[in-house]
Structure 1
Amino acid sequence: MTVSRFRDFARYWRTPLLPGADLLTAEYHDHAFTPHWHEAYTIPVIEDGAECYRYRGALHVAEAGSVPVINPGEVHTGSRAVDEGWRYRVMYVPVDTLHTLASEIAGRAEPLPWFDAEVIRDPDLARRLSRAHRLLEADADRRHAEFALVPNVPNAPNTPQSDLLAVEDALLDALSTLLTRHARTHEARLGSAANEPRVEIMKALLAADLTAPLRVADLAQAVGLSPFHATRLFTQATGLPPHAWRTQLRLQRALAPLRAGASVAEVAAATGFTDQSHFTRHFRRMFGVPPGRWQAN
């Protein structure tokens, strides 16, 4: 009988030192992520074990010391590649943050940075990302502990400036190393795509009102195609059929109200899920934890 080294555990958290980003410290054994996408750059570093994931039509394996970056909006999965599972740290970095940093490094306006599908095997980069993530997590824990001790004082956490400098230096070092060594540009990756405007029109229609019922015929009419061709075009461009893509968008849109303290039932209704259990089931598949536990982190 094989004894798993890792358990299913996930902690999502945030830090003012990386505004708008979500960060994850996790290990998984049984959990498997169904096809999904994120609005941010997904920047993981595998610290132990190995993860396999399907991405851009191929199955990839990311072992300890590797950095399997996923571009924003691109569909992928995730599950264990070895019997013991895997442990990793992840930064979900907003598009604007990484885009701005790329332009600052270049000293001019730059296109969106983009990353190839292959797993990045750069042990030095992995060490830098892991160190930055650990320092950010330690700082977040310190802030939380100080706030718990002085809950009624605005901005009570007061991390020493020297510590903040060290954390920010490590973060900038890790992200700039990733960009300078491994980033390409979005334009170069996409090239010219005659059908891209049609896909964007369908995305806009799907996103306009997440609670409104839509039919494939509505999407097809908006772009002047048959339902069959509209669905095929959308699926080829995004990796998901329209209904699944819209479900992922609903989950992304649920994060802000959950973070603001809205109840799970309220968020489920506001984002167009049929009921709370339906929302919870999809949320757990994407984030590895139910929404209530994600909200409490």
Structure 2
Amino acid sequence: MAQHENLPGLEEVRFHRDEDLGGLEIRLARYKRFAFDNHWHDCYSIGAALDGGSLCMRNQDNTVVRAGQLALINPGQVHAGVPERERGITYLMFYVEPEVMRRLAAQVAGRDLGYPEFHRVIVSDPRLFEAMGAL
């Protein structure tokens, strides 16, 4: 998994964009006090909670992502980012452009299926979590 010990402060962000990978954006962040109110992105957001936890969906269930879990957010899906009070959250987030995700899904399926859609926001899958961190 990503070395998040390199983030010394309570509020720390490292951001990288790779044009060779279709404009893939990667964020390694730690937040203790800073919170994102409801918002959305034009791209897919695929995150791995490395430490702590965060409210990520303000809904009837108040969906929370915790360390070791993945958050899968579709383009246009309204979500928030409110760190747990005691521990905050440290996470790795990949932002993938819709056309890139569509091409990747077509490669896996062997044909164009259109834009994929995540049906679960929170996924607990240790193997997938580790694979994402190895990227």
Q: Which amino acid aligns with 2:89?
A: W
Q: Which amino acid aligns with 2:43?
A: A
- Alignment equivalent of 1:68, drawn from 68, 71, 76: 71
1:39 paired residue number:
42
1:230 paired residue number:
none
Q: Structure 1: which 5+ residue stretches go unaligned?
A: 133-297
Q: Which amino acid aligns with 2:100?
A: T
Q: What TM-score, normalized by structure 1, do the two folds share? A: 0.41
Structure 2: distance between partners of 1:77 and 1:57:
14
Q: Structure 2: which 5+ residue stretches go unaligned?
A: 1-7
Residues 102, 112 of structure 2: 8 Å contact kept: no
Are residue 94 (structure 1) and residue 88 (structure 2) matched?
Answer: no
* CA shift digits 1:244-278 (9 cap, x unpaired): xxxxxxxxxxxxxxxxxxxxxxxxxxxxxxxxxxx
1:54 paired residue number:
57
Larger radius of gyration: 1
Structure 2: distance between partners of 1:91 and 1:20:
11
Q: Following TM superposition, by how much is the alpha carbon of 1:82 offset from its aligned partner in structure 2, in angstroms?
A: 4.7
Aligned pairs (5 A) from 1:269-288: none
Between Structure 1 and Structure 2, the one with more helix by share is 1
SS at match of 1:126: helix
Q: Following TM superposition, by how much is the alpha carbon of 1:20 offset from its aligned partner in structure 2, in angstroms?
A: 1.7
Q: Following TM superposition, by how much is the alpha carbon of 1:55 offset from its aligned partner in structure 2, in angstroms?
A: 5.0
Q: Which amino acid aligns with 1:31?
A: F
SS at match of 2:92: strand
Q: Following TM superposition, by how much is the alpha carbon of 1:6 offset from its aligned partner in structure 2, in angstroms?
A: 6.1
Structure 1: distance between partners of 2:93 and 2:47:
4
* CA shift digits 1:72-99 (9 cap, x unpaired): 0111111112511010110000001111
Q: Following TM superposition, by how much is the alpha carbon of 1:57 offset from its aligned partner in structure 2, in angstroms?
A: 5.3
1:246 paired residue number:
none
Q: Which amino acid aligns with 1:43?
A: I
Instruction: Determine what percentage of the aligned residue pairs are the same residue.
Output: 30
Q: What TM-score, normalized by structure 2, do the two folds share? A: 0.86
Q: Residues 85 and 72 from structure 1, CA distance in 2 versus in 1: closer, same or farther, beyond 3 angstroms? A: same
Structure 1: distance between partners of 2:83 and 2:58:
15
Q: Which runs of 4+ in 1 moved over 6 A?
A: none
State the aligned residue count. 128
1:8 paired residue number:
11
1:103 paired residue number:
106
Are residue 24 (structure 1) and residue 34 (structure 2) matched?
Answer: no
Q: Residues 93 and 108 from structure 1, CA distance in 2 versus in 1: closer, same or farther, beyond 3 angstroms? A: same
Structure 1: distance between partners of 2:98 and 2:121:
20
Structure 2: distance between partners of 1:13 and 1:73:
22
Residues 33, 85 of structure 2: 8 Å contact kept: no
Residues 49, 82 of structure 1: 8 Å contact kept: no
Higher relative contact order (CA 8 A, sep 6+): 2
Structure 2: distance between partners of 1:33 and 1:9:
14
Pairwise CA RMSD: 1.8
Q: Residues 55 and 104 from structure 1, CA distance in 2 versus in 1: closer, same or farther, beyond 3 angstroms? A: farther
Q: Which amino acid aligns with 1:87?
A: T
SS at match of 1:73: coil
Residues 53, 64 of structure 2: 8 Å contact kept: yes
